[in-house]
C-alpha cells in the first residue's frame, strides 16, 4: 500500500503539471472549453529497473468550462467512456490516478499468473518473458449544434503474438445529457439498408468490384458487415468504426467507414435527435 501511495503522489504531481502546461481549446458552437491531462509512466517488477517494465500512456481531453451544461456532469460522462464507469463519480485527476494504480497492480499480478501459450505442450509465458504497455487517448471529432462526438483509441499489449488496438466512438447529446444510440434515429429497414452501404464503401476503399470479393482480403462473410452502434457524427455525416476481428482478420486492422447524410437521410427518422444535422 505504501508503494501505491508513493506512486500516486508522483503521478499526481506530474498530472497537475501536465494539465497546467496544456493549451485550452475552445469550440465556439457549444460554448465548451476543453483541457487535457497527459501521463507517460513506466513501472518495473519489484520496483527494480533491471527487470521488465510496463508503460502506461494516457492523453485525456475533457471539458473544463461550459456555458449551458454542468461541467462536473460533463466530466463524469467523459470519464465514463474513457476511463471506465466505475470511476465516473471521481474528479478527473483522481480518476486518472485510480486508473493508473489499477494498471500497475494488474501488472504486478502477472508474476503470479502465467499466461498459457500452448496448453497442449504445457508452455506458459510469465511477466518475465515480455514487457507490456498500454496507450489510451480520446480525440474530439465534433463539437457543435448540441452534440459532442469523440473517439477513444486504445493500444494494449500484455503478452501474446501481437498488441490489440481498438476505437470506441461516442456521441453525447448535450440537450439531454444522453449518449446517442442507433435505435434513437434508425428508421424502418435501417440495418439492412446501411449494411449494404457499408459493404459497398468498404469494397470501394479496397478497390474490389463486389463486396463479396472482400472475403479474399481477410474480411469475414459480407453478411457480418452491419451497423454496430460504434460511430461518430459531424456536420457532414456518420462515421462507423469496426475494430480488429469485428468484420475481418487481425491483419486488416480497424476499418473506418464514412457515410454522408445525403445517403442516410431517407433511412433516418425525421423526429430523431440528429434530424437537425441530417436535414441541414
pLDDT along the chain (280 residues), means of 10: 32 43 51 94 83 91 95 98 98 97 84 55 49 94 96 90 93 96 91 95 96 96 95 97 96 97 93 91
For the chain, give every domain's residue range.
2-179, 182-278
Query: What is the separation of C-alpha 120 from the centre of its chain, rounded to a whole number of angstroms?
Result: 35
State how far the alpha carbon of 173 is from the alpha carbons of 35, 51, 69, in Å. Answer: 20, 47, 11
Q: What is the pTM of this model?
A: 0.83
d(CA 203, CA 197): 10
Tell me, what's the pLDDT at 119?
Answer: 54
Tell me, what's the pLDDT at 123?
Answer: 46
Tell me, what's the pLDDT at 158?
Answer: 79
| Exposure of 105 in the CB half-sphere (CA atoms within 13 A) | 11
Residue 163 backbone phi and psi in degrees, to 5? -75, 165
Placement of cell 449494411 in the chain: 195
Tell me, what's the pLDDT at 139?
Answer: 97
Q: Report pLDDT digits (tens) over 39-75.
A: 999 988 777 787 788 999 999 999 999 999 999 999 9
User: Which of 203, 199, 268, 188 has its CA nearest to residue 233?
Assistant: 268
- CATH 2.60.40.10 applies to domain 182-278: no
Kindly tell me the burial class for residue 248, based on how many C-beta atoms sit within 10 Å of its own C-beta (0-12, 13-18, 19 or more): buried
Tell me, what's the pLDDT at 228?
Answer: 96
Tell me, what's the pLDDT at 46?
Answer: 77
d(CA 120, CA 277): 55
Tell me, what's the pLDDT at 130?
Answer: 64
Q: What is the CATH number of domain 2-179?
A: 3.30.565.40
d(CA 74, CA 77): 5
Tell me, what's the pLDDT at 20?
Answer: 40
Tell me, what's the pLDDT at 188?
Answer: 85
Amino acid at each position: 500500500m505504501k508503494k501505491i501511495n508513493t506512486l500516486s503522489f508522483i503521478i499526481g504531481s506530474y498530472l497537475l503539471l501536465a494539465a497546467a502546461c496544456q493549451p485550452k481549446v475552445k469550440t465556439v458552437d457549444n460554448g465548451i472549453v476543453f483541457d487535457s491531462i497527459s501521463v507517460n509512466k513506466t513501472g518495473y517488477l519489484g520496483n527494480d529497473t533491471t527487470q521488465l517494465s510496463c508503460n502506461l500512456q494516457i492523453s485525456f481531453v475533457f471539458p473544463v468550462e461550459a456555458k449551458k451544461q454542468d461541467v462536473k456532469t460533463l466530466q463524469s460522462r467523459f470519464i465514463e467512456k474513457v476511463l471506465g464507469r466505475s470511476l465516473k463519480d471521481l474528479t478527473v485527476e483522481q480518476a486518472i490516478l485510480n486508473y493508473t494504480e489499477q494498471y500497475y497492480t494488474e501488472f504486478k499480478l502477472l508474476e503470479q499468473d502465467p499466461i498459457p501459450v500452448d496448453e497442449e505442450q504445457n508452455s506458459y509465458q510469465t511477466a518475465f518473458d515480455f514487457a507490456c504497455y498500454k496507450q489510451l487517448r480520446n480525440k474530439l471529432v465534433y463539437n457543435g449544434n448540441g452534440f459532442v462526438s469523440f473517439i477513444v483509441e486504445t493500444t494494449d499489449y500484455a503478452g501474446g503474438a501481437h498488441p490489440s488496438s481498438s476505437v470506441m466512438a461516442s456521441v453525447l447529446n448535450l440537450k439531454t445529457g444522453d449518449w446517442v444510440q442507433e435505435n434513437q434515429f434508425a428508421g424502418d429497414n435501417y440495418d439492412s439498408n446501411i449494411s449494404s452501404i457499408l459493404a459497398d464503401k468498404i469494397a470501394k476503399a479496397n478497390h474490389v468490384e463486389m463486396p463479396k470479393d472482400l472475403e479474399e482480403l481477410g474480411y469475414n462473410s459480407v453478411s457480418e458487415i452491419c451497423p454496430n452502434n460504434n460511430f461518430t457524427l459531424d456536420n457532414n455525416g456518420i462515421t462507423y468504426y469496426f475494430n480488429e476481428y469485428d468484420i475481418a482478420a487481425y491483419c486488416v486492422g480497424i476499418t473506418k467507414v464514412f457515410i454522408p447524410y445525403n445517403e442516410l437521410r431517407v433511412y433516418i427518422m425525421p423526429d430523431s435527435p440528429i434530424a437537425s444535422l441530417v436535414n441541414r
